[in-house]
Amino acid sequence: MERIYRIAGCFVAVLIAGLASADSEKLRFPLLVNKPITPAWAPLWDWEQPTRFEFQHRVVEHFTGVSGVGVCCAEGVTHDGHALHLCFAPGTPEWYVDYVSRLIFGDFLPAYDAGRRWNSTSYGSTGSYGNPVRLRWSFVPDGTLLPGISGGASPSNLFASMNSKFGGNTTLWQNQFVNSFARWQQVAGLRYERVNDDGAMFPNSSGSATAPRGDVRIGARDLDDAGGVLAFNYFPNTGDMVLDSSENWSSSIGTYRFLRNTVMHEHGHGMGLGHVIPTNSTKLMEPYLNTNFDGPQDDDIRGAHRLYGDPYEPNNGVSQATLIDMTNTNLFTLDFASLDRTADVDWYSLEIPSSRRLTITVTPIGATYSVGPQSGTATTINTQAIQNLQLELRNSSGAVIASAASNGVGLSEQIANFVVPPAGGTFYARVFSGTGSTDDVQRYRLTVQTTALPTGDVDGNGCVDDADLLQVLFAFGSNSPATDLNGDGTVDDADLLRVLFNFGSGC
């Protein structure tokens, strides 16, 4: 069954209770039917078959008293083959429409728990899901009053306690935070800037470029003595972090992994991720801290990509293409890329020197493991087989000159040994989604390889011979890029001479 769905716009949350709550678990109730969300009840929506939308919209308006129903809808085919049309109340947040749609249409994967992303930061509004976000972060000055795990207010002792634990080496402990944010920035569409902090009321004081204070503010105080709770963190758009100053943060094992994994986990919440199960020491966002690995793992990275895209976003068009410069290398590997949804398209701008063959490979990255949201159900998924990757090579005017799309979901695609027009220049690799894809994150690795050819080797067989000479002669006077060796726009004497001067080269 081909799974498709489409979401067209959105509006107000009249039927959703408690949207302002920070507890995303409480938000997961269906809008029009008061039943728990599981794919099993999708067929109960038979009355919502896509035949009489207008009537149904009026019915919903009548029952709910909400006007404007029908502007924001999702349509698709459920996991068991029912064509379905969902109506959401005006103002329903996009993430919720997305979440419910994925459940109903059967392509919900119980993976990472990606809740609500940052939609407003100290840089301004942030765009939609899959687009990168910039965040400022700061350490609150000691004395800033911080809430504990059951309310109350105690002054932050972050600087005093950390300096004490780290023998007065402020740079050392602060660098562990710097490195924690740097790691998230390396693997997902998140950009960080450290700023000062004016000690404004905590939390609930928005980040500011001028105040100054971060979007993500960090403090410490005793929470429950050593052990137990290590830290807690607010979800977007608050994002602030409170560490328990009673913990052994200066443990240097694994390059301060106890501190760094705590910070990276807490900031996982700070970007909108919830806890995941099972607690088997394989995922950063498990409810209990793990130190047997370093930083975000596959499920955590996928969650961050669903919210903010991969680290190369935005690259959804030619003008935003991610640069891959092959001028001084013949092998380039790009990790942590993904199609963060089926609508994601990734463009790469390739700078190719003259006289090259080109091989581009896109390989799905992932693994098979069990995962689910905390207090939900864990299911085995294969994150390597989510989307059907497709690959195109385009020239500088955007025309497709090679493509690879024959392999299905979970398999790599390759444009192999393509003879690049001999003058080289700018080309574009475009990675996008094909049939059979599930609308969820597909991580991939992109590899670009070039092989040098002799100058004048028009057909790219490694030898400058009669065949190359004939190609130039036949194209003489034209603007054919394949034979325009010097790339000046015309196949002429100059190109002919390049073949003649190099005749026999490589043969």
**Does the protein bind Ca ion through residue 488 (CB under 5 A)?**
yes
- Which among 23-31, 101-109, 183-191, 346-354 is the span making contact with Ca ion, rule CB under 5 A? 346-354
| Min separation Cβ 141 and Zn ion, Å | 25
Whether the Cβ atoms of residue 255 and residue 291 lie closer than 8 Å to each other: no
Q: Which residue number places its CB atom closest to Ca ion?
A: 244
Residue 87 near which of Ca ion, Zn ion, none (CB within 5-8 Å, type-dependent): Zn ion
Nearest residue (CB) to Ca ion, 209 versus 229: 229
Token pair recorded at residue 97: 């429409």
| Min separation Cβ 412 and Ca ion, Å | 8
How many other β-carbons are positioned within 10 Å of the β-carbon of residue 223?
Answer: 22
| Min separation Cβ 410 and Ca ion, Å | 9
Token pair recorded at residue 245: 């100053």
Question: Closest by alpha carbon to 460, among 385, 366, 354?
Answer: 354
How many other β-carbons are positioned within 10 Å of the β-carbon of residue 330?
Answer: 12
**Does the protein bind Ca ion through residue 346 (CB under 5 A)?**
yes
**Does the protein bind Ca ion through residue 439 (CB under 5 A)?**
no
| Min separation Cβ 80 and Zn ion, Å | 20
Residue 178 near which of Ca ion, Zn ion, none (CB within 5-8 Å, type-dependent): none
| Min separation Cβ 224 and Ca ion, Å | 4
**Does the protein bind Ca ion through residue 310 (CB under 5 A)?**
yes
**Does the protein bind Ca ion through residue 244 (CB under 5 A)?**
yes
Nearest residue (CB) to Ca ion, 228 versus 287: 228
Burial zone of 28 (CB within 10 Å; 0-12 exposed, 13-18 middle, 19+ buried): middle
Residue 229 near which of Zn ion, Ca ion, none (CB within 5-8 Å, type-dependent): Ca ion
Q: How far is CA 500 from the centre of its chain?
A: 50
**Does the protein bind Ca ion through residue 228 (CB under 5 A)?**
yes
**Does the protein bind Ca ion through residue 440 (CB under 5 A)?**
no
Residue 73 near which of Ca ion, Zn ion, none (CB within 5-8 Å, type-dependent): Zn ion
Distance, in Å, from the CA atom of 235 to the CA atom of 237, rounded to the nearest integer, reads 6
- Options 160, 229, 289, 497; binder of Ca ion; rule CB under 5 A: 229
Distance, in Å, from the CA atom of 46 to the CA atom of 33, rounded to the nearest integer, reads 12
Nearest residue (CB) to Zn ion, 39 versus 70: 70
Distance, in Å, from the CA atom of 285 to the CA atom of 266, rounded to the nearest integer, reads 8
Distance, in Å, from the CA atom of 10 to the CA atom of 390, rounded to the nearest integer, reads 30
**Does the protein bind Ca ion through residue 493 (CB under 5 A)?**
no
Q: DSSP secondary-structure letter at 320?
A: G
Nearest residue (CB) to Zn ion, 70 versus 155: 70
What is the maximal distance between C-alpha atoms in the chain?
86
- Which among 158-166, 216-224, 274-282, 351-359 is the span making contact with Ca ion, rule CB under 5 A? 216-224
**Does the protein bind Ca ion through residue 154 (CB under 5 A)?**
no
- Which among 30-38, 244-252, 320-328, 439-447 is the span making contact with Ca ion, rule CB under 5 A? 244-252
Residue 496 near which of Ca ion, Zn ion, none (CB within 5-8 Å, type-dependent): none
| Min separation Cβ 376 and Ca ion, Å | 26
Q: DSSP secondary-structure letter at 200?
A: -
**Does the protein bind Ca ion through residue 388 (CB under 5 A)?**
yes
How many other β-carbons are positioned within 10 Å of the β-carbon of residue 251?
Answer: 13
Hey, which bits of 366-422 come out as E strands?
368-373, 379-382, 389-394, 400-404, 413-419
**Does the protein bind Ca ion through residue 385 (CB under 5 A)?**
no
N- to C-terminal Cα distance for the chain? Answer: 53
Site for Ca ion in 118-137 (CB under 5 A): none
Whether the Cβ atoms of residue 275 and residue 235 lie closer than 8 Å to each other: no
Give me the sheet containing 413-419, strands edge to edge.
Answer: 331-339, 442-452, 356-365, 413-419
Q: Which amino acid is at 187?
A: V
| Min separation Cβ 227 and Ca ion, Å | 5
The residue ranges that bind Ca ion (CB under 5 A) are: 224, 228-229, 244, 310, 344, 346, 388, 407, 413, 484, 486, 488, 490, 495
